[in-house]
Amino acid sequence: MLDNHPLTPALLAPILLSAMEKGVSAAVLVALTHPDPRKVGSRLLVMKGETRGTLGDTKADEAGIRLARSALGGDPSTLPGTYPLPLREGGELEVFLEMHQPRWELVIVGAGHVAQPLCSIGSLLGLYVSVLDDRPQFATRERFPEADSLQEIDFQDPFAGIPLHRWSHVVLVTRGHKYDYECLRKILINEALPGYIGMIGSRRRVRAAFDALLLEGISRERLGSVHAPIGLDIGSETPAEIALSVGAELVHHWRGGSGRPLSEMEHVLERLLPEGDVQSGSVDSLRQAHRRDGTTNDESREES
């Protein structure tokens, strides 16, 4: 959709707010310079399948839309900042590219023992945390003080009115395997998948759920996007430990990494001085060099 009417800040704000609530990314170009001083500050909004506003020049608009779509597509060479755009009559104007991304969210389905510490961890990680359950007496502010949203749902249609998108991280930890299964099925039959899907359960229960979903026509590729059993293997047993393993997997999902202990990867002991070289004089020299660097033990820990 193309709407090239002037886009004022008052008109832009509710459009961006609605987009963020729906999980839609947006790029805004603001004219910093223009041959016509009255058009300085003109805005061009670009979202998936929709463009609004104008920079006051058709050629600049075309170039701006290409720039914005490149940024929305994740091109690492297109970052927020100032860019020159060509003008129809020659020359160029400068625009500032703004990127607006929805806040990453954690949707915890189930308000039981694992959900409580997981809500705290999600909040610490900076996620917008929603807790969903069909039992209003469980999804309470007293049990989930860090939650941004508490919602009563029906497991027959658990995500009614709750848009899931690539910024969503959905964790299924309901009170029963049949509810986890139904919620997972509802997610996988939709065209757009959340950025992260995790389901608690033993290997046997997860395999049984996947077999049933295959029979319902869910592809192996879609099932491959599900983290189940959920979490990293840290030997967790208690609800808090399980929540910690899930939080660790979320960070691993975003940042990458091997998931191995850093002490195993760095091999610090193997890089120490040979046994015979560790004399008192050399130790003193090392200590003096360390002091000259101005690095204390505590600072070293922070830097690592």
Rounded to two decimals, the pTM is 0.74
Q: Is the pLDDT of residue 297 over 70?
A: no
Residues 252-285 have pLDDT tens digits of: 999 988 888 888 888 877 777 776 665 555 666 6
The DSSP code sequence of 79-117 is -SEEEEEE-TTSSEEEEEEEEE-PPPEEEEE--STTHHH
8: which 2 tokens?
A: 């004022």
Confidence band of 102 (pLDDT split at 50, 70, 90): confident
List CB contacts of 295: < 8 A, sequence separation 6 or more. Answer: 303
Residues found in the chain: 304
Instruction: Considering only residues 18 and 21, tell me which one the structure prediction assigns the higher pLDDT.
Output: 18
- 114/199 Cα distance (integer angstroms): 12
Provide φ and ψ at 264, rounded to 5°: -75, -35
Pairing of the two strands 43-47 and 50-53: antiparallel
Residues 137-174 have pLDDT tens digits of: 999 999 999 999 999 999 889 999 888 888 899 999 99
Instruction: Considering only residues 110 and 271, tell me which one the structure prediction assigns the higher pLDDT.
Output: 110
